[in-house]
Amino acid sequence: MKLALAQLNPTVGDLRANTDRIRRFAERAAAGGADLAVFPELAISGYPPLDLVDAARYLEANEECLRDLADSTAGLEMALAVGYCGTNEDTGRPANCVAGIRNGRIEHRSTKVLLPTYDVFDEARYFAPGRQPGIWNVGWRRIGITICEDAWNDKQFWVRSRYARDPVEELVSRGIDLLVNVSASPYHMGKRAFRADMLKAAAVRHQVPAALVNQVGGNDQLVFDGSSFAIDAAGIVRARARSFEEDLVYWETDGEGDRHGPDWTGPDANEVEAVYDALVTGTRDYVRKCGFAKAIIGLSGGIDSSLTVVIAAEALGPENVTGVAMPGPYSSEGSLTDAAHTASALGIAFETIPIEPAFRAFQQQLSAVFVGTEPNIAEENLQARIRGNILMALSNKFDGLVLTTGNKSELAVGYCTIYGDMCGGLAVISDVPKTLAYRLAAVGNRRHPDAIPVSVIRKPPSAELRPDQKDSDSLPPYEVLDPVLRLYVEENLSVSEIAAELGQDRDLVRRISGKVDRNEYKRQQAAPGLRVTSKAFGMGRRFPIAQRYVR
């Protein structure tokens, strides 16, 4: 059997456009001699559809598109397996389904059995589970169909399984020739290799070849890497699609297949490059799928705003990006020069709008109220909020989406100004620790030579909101801070566990964790951010704001 893995980038809710995209890929697959073309989970609806599934009309529209797809591909001498939003056979509730289409007919339907409710997933809220995974007879082959999570509960692979059932084991016990997994599996660092290791373990254990077809592209906070692949019963990868772009790869199930993408499992796998690609993909899709064409960024001459503007220029094209320098009373001349250099190197529009006149006006207006007090964080945050107002005014006037530039380290401990530098529609690097930002800047400079000057990389980080200010005045060095944050936020370890693992002072770890807990109220008002680590702030981390539990 010649299998086509059709790796698509759907837009949530754009059912007709998604269906047209499926049809075009199906025609290409048929022209390439495929016997079966497999498409991602919820390819018609886009993933995740969230509360859209609660509308009865939404499910009806999915079914209409599915039938139209069957009609429009009737002349193809090929079968299609396509994900869509359907209904549960017992309850009539929404369900996460796959349809098998052949000769213009929908001749098979499968429903997802395991519905994840952890991290960024909340599928039990939206879908009813199927009774059992489906087997579809295509020619003389028995195709076992699993939908994403259905393949993620191999009891011999996981130290602790989440579910009582293993749909892959159930399929194998009924007899299958090929295991197919249709997925919308979001990216985070290390996910590509882990995904391959997991399916390899199942293929080897059950002695059955397998193929995984994954969605690609960005939908809100989630970025999907694609990285679809096929693996034989010995666990050898025989076909591999590209990461972070649409692709169509073929695999003769008894032999070799296309290998478009680089190996993400070997020693040469570059996860920093993958994070950079994920941020470019997520930025491009978020801006465009939200109906914008342009982005506006406060370009301070620091590492974070420089990295953000490089990513935006690559994602949207330099002609669609505007950098705005907003020097204040404590801005260094070097920062303004560095910002202008980056804008020139990238070829983006660049504006300079000083904030001192507005800052003086605010000081004058507040002088009677502030009389007898010393300057403190109030005056610092005034500067940040003036800058936020300027960016939002430009956004309203010129219909560009403001991209915020704060990193994960700052957001974690509240070293950011709500309604100031947090203003915007997308927080591009809000899941990027500060130490990783420097490594990503190196990737950006390889792709866009000298876009981020050496002076930006070498100078001590500073918000430049008071004389001679440095981040280290308020925070531990980022080389100390970031490992603590990783264990506290991503691994959910206690203060004592973190102090022991890192050999750090317990009081230091307690101060850091306290900052994380106290600033939850800021993060819940932040712009959505692109997820690239295993635990990002946002939809995958749900902590109460008013709480006093001490970990």
* Residues acting as catalytic residues: 41, 112, 148
DSSP-assigned beta bridge partners for residue 271: none
Phi and psi, residue 296, nearest 5°? -125, 130
* Three-class DSSP category at 22: helix
Q: Quote the DSSP letter at residue 538.
A: B
Q: Is 60 exposed, middle or buried (0-12, 13-18, 19+ CB in 10 A)?
A: exposed
Structure tokens at 379: 């005056």
Describe the strand order of the beta sheet including 141-147 as a list of residue ranges: 134-138, 141-147, 178-183, 210-214, 229-231, 237-240
**Cβ-proximal residues to 182 (8 Å cutoff; 6+ apart), any chain:** 38, 39, 40, 41, 43, 81, 83, 98, 145, 146, 147, 148, 213
Evaluate the CA torsion angle 515, 191, 162, 41 in order and state its sign: positive
d(CA 534, CA 238) in angstroms, rounded, equals 28
> Which of 107, 175, 94 shows the shortest CA–CA distance to 142?
175
d(CA 10, CA 44) in angstroms, rounded, equals 7
Structure tokens at 299: 């370009």
> Which of 423, 421, 417 shows the shortest CA–CA distance to 395?
423
Half-sphere exposure (CA, 13 Å, Cβ side) for 366? 13
Type and span of the H or E element at 141: strand 141-147
Structure tokens at 333: 């001349």
* Three-class DSSP category at 225: strand
Structure tokens at 115: 């519905």
DSSP-assigned beta bridge partners for residue 79: 36
DSSP-assigned beta bridge partners for residue 239: 230
Type and span of the H or E element at 102: strand 94-102
Question: Do residues 58 and 49 lie in contact, with contact meaning Cβ atoms separated by under 8 Å?
Answer: yes
Question: Do residues 133 and 108 lie in contact, with contact meaning Cβ atoms separated by under 8 Å?
Answer: no
Angle at 337 between CA 335 and CA 343, to 5 degrees: 105
